[in-house]
Amino acid sequence: MASVTFRDGFLCVSALITFVFVFVTGADFVRFVSFRAINHNLSGAAPLCRDSVPWSVALRDGVVQKAVAVDVLLLVVFSLQHSLLAWTPVKRVCQSVFGILSRSVYCFTTAAALQILMQYWRPITSAPCLWSVSSAPWEIWFPLICFIVHFLCWAIICSILLIFDYPELLGIKQVYYECLGLGDPLLLKSERAQRLYSHLRHPVCVELLTVLWLLPSFPLDRLLLAVFLTVYLILAHSLDKQDCAYLRHQLRNKLQLFSTPLEGSEQTNDNNKLE
């Protein structure tokens, strides 16, 4: 009995550590992708680029080439980690080795890869910007507009993640169900929900693409980040008509539940198949 209690405690602590690490990394990523770049414009700090340097000269600069190589390598390392661990043969190996913690391990290593990317990212300040809003009054107003749009996008992303069963995505629900002897929570979802999850584990495409591309100043290193992640997001999704129909059905159910809470209380289990 003691060994079972110790095992449950170890699983819970491991899942909690992963949750905290992922949460902190998510906050760092928001700052890295959005607010650090926007605040740079609002604070009047040194320019992110050198628009006086022609592109033909900047691209032959050894400093620029080294920074581009480092940034591309970091993006490749992140994409390899994120894709290889989601590959079915590798996923099976992880499940056989880590068991119920396999999802937590995936999330922890993803957060670690993101931390490495953010810590070692090389800004490219010796090349021109693709664009830079610097004429009055837009030099003040456009960064403020970007800040508002980015804030709304991240709020929507957080809301969608909560709707898409955030504890299950992070591996917390798996540990909780394991300790209670309830089995794998994903297997308890409807077949249509499992099908949707296999096609869409990143339900934040439009919002993330917005924050990647909408900035008052757009240096070369940001172009690398935006293009790479845009292509990666597009290739990683395979929604079809059945998935879209299922999403519409779930949305109608939830809207009906919110509009008639008393009548819908008896249908909660049927209307919340994603949970």
The full 3-state SS of 135-195, as one line of letters, equals CCCHHHHHHHHHHHHHHHHHHHHHHHHHHCCHHHHHCHHHHHHHHHCCCCHHHHCCHHHHH
According to the model, what pLDDT value does residue 113 have? 96
* This prediction's pTM: 0.76
The pLDDT value recorded for residue 247 is 52
Closest CA to 157 of 248, 26, 20: 26
3-state secondary structure of 66: helix
Check residue 165 and give left, alpha or beta (phi > 0: left; psi -120 to 50: alpha): left
Task: Centre a 10 Å sphere on the Cβ of residue 179 and count the other Cβ atoms it contains.
Answer: 17
Q: Where are the beta strands (DSSP E) in the chain?
A: 131-132, 217-218
- Containing 20, the helix (H) or strand (E) segment is helix 2-30
Contact 67, 222 (CB under 8 A): no
What pLDDT is recorded for position 203?
A: 52
Question: How far apart are the C-alpha atoms of 107 and 62, rounded to whole Å?
Answer: 36
Residues of the chain with pLDDT under 50: 1-2, 201, 239-240, 243, 262-275
Instruction: Locate the domains of the chain by residue range.
Output: 2-239, 240-275
First to last CA, the chain: 31
Spatial contact of 75 and 117, defined as CB atoms under 8 Å apart: yes
Reply yes or no: is the peptide bond before residue 203 cis, omega within 30 of 0.
no
